[in-house]
Structure 1
Amino acid sequence: MGQENFKQMRKAMVVSQLRTTEVSDPRVIAAMSHIAREDFVPAAQRSFAYADRGVQIGEGRALNPPLTTGRLLNVAHVTKDDNVLLIGAATGYTATVLAQLAGSVMAVEQNAKLAATAEKNLADFDNVTVETGNHADGWGPLAPYSVIVVDGLVEQIPQALIDQLAPDGTIVAAVMHDGVARLALGRTAGGHVGYQYFADGGGCPLPGFEKAKSFKF
């Protein structure tokens, strides 16, 4: 498939997925219009790079649908003053989007192979660092973060991440809530985080956030 076809697919993604679902931040739209998402997926998946669903990237993982990424970043309101923690670097797509928006990005990926791919894809960005580590642990050495982006669907958001948020910080994620996948916006106040679930929406499961299973007798 030629580059021109991918450009058309990217434009269609912006028009039909982002602009029709309240993704209104012009900086988010500009970044997602510019970045070649097909470069972040395996060759066999490139034709699906802009589909309204997750895209398999190997290692049992998938990139979040573009719509999920767009809606989360839209409400995060990331600016050049922000120090962002990205949980789930995957192959580096969302980190590349954030590199256009934030002052600095710390991207954590617990799969070593994907982390190496992300680091390679992000080599040209001097405001992004990729580290291999457990997703649920975040990255304490560079905390606090004004924004935390959890780039995947999780069962819960652990206290370890909340503790790395700055006062008046923001966290966004797709969270299982009452059995439904919902997009969540959390803000810190007085040492606690209050969540607003602003949309029902999918996301691709991100390992490391599973709730402990209760015993049944």
Structure 2
Amino acid sequence: MVDSQLRTSGVNEEFVLNRMNTVPREDFVPEAARGTAYIDRAITLENGRRIAAPLFYGMVLAEAQPKLDDTVLVVDAGSGYLPELIRTLVASVDVISPNEAITKSRKKSAYSLVLVDGAIEHVPAPLAKRLADGGRIVTGVLKNGVTRLATGRKSASDVALLPLAEIGIPRLSEFDKAASWSF
């Protein structure tokens, strides 16, 4: 996985390669899929969601550039893989579901880094409020049926995303925009 998927795609940061080598991906997929845990494809989880291909996680970590003093919020699709990859690289990690990410939070925590384990159409206000001013976000973004890795920062109450690279990323339907009319 490291040599054939990450390095050949430009993911060469030592901290990323070390984490990807250390965290056994097969522990985060259904038992029936353990033999193909390192395949360059998304794998369906028991909850019906999907764990993305390893390259997605390598690219997320590389773009996030986690720091030891980062407080991190992970929107996890149910595998637990991304939270485990980031856990030893930062000060703290909190994990929420996609449903929790789109609802108003009772907590007043402001995170320096938000990672979303999937592709979203937009950053909803409740999730944006959880990000500290100047905080970073790394996510998949979905536009016109194409998924891309994206990174962004929060300024005031707005979070702007910059798409970086087309890559297959499972969609998180909770983040779909409401259908609307346009010309």
TM over 0.5: yes
1:94 alignment counterpart: 82
> What pairs with 1:75-154 in structure 2 (closer than 5 Å)?
75-109=63-97, 134-137=100-103, 141=107, 143-154=109-120
Listed one character per residue, the Cα deviations across residues 43-73 of structure 1 (whole Å, up to 9, x for unaligned) are 1111121111111112211111111111111
SS state at 2:132 partner: strand
**Partner in structure 2 of residue 70 of structure 1:** 58
User: 2:8 pairs with 17, 20, 28, which one?
Assistant: 20
Contact 1:89 1:95 in 2 (8 A): no
Which consecutive segments of 4 or more residues in structure 1 shift more than 6 A?
A: none
Instruction: Structure 2: give runs of 5+ residues left out of the alignment.
Output: none
Give the 3 Å change call, closer, same or farther, for CA 140–97 of structure 1 in structure 2: farther
**Count of aligned positions:** 182
Matching residue of 1:52? 40
Gap change, CA 1:89 and 1:98, over 3 Å in 2: farther
Give percent identity, aligned residues only: 37
Q: Indicate the structure (1 or 2) with the bigger Cα radius of gyration.
A: 1
Give the partner amino acid of 2:92.
S
Q: Distance in 2 between matches of 1:89 and 1:153?
A: 10
Matched with 1:159 is 125
Unaligned runs of 5+ in 1: 1-12, 111-132
Amino acid in structure 1 at the alignment position of 2:29: V
SS at the partner of 1:213? coil
Q: Which stretch has the larger CA shift, 164-173 or 207-216?
A: 207-216
Q: TM-score with structure 1 length normalisation?
A: 0.77
Aligned equivalents of 2:106, 2:164: Cα separation in 1: 28
Distance 1:107 1:157, change over 3 A: same
Aligned Cα root-mean-square deviation (Å): 2.0
SS of the equivalent of 2:175 reads coil
- Supply the distance in 1 between the matched residues of 2:94 and 2:80 (Cα, whole angstroms): 11
Cα distance in 1 between the residues matched to 2:107 and 2:39: 36
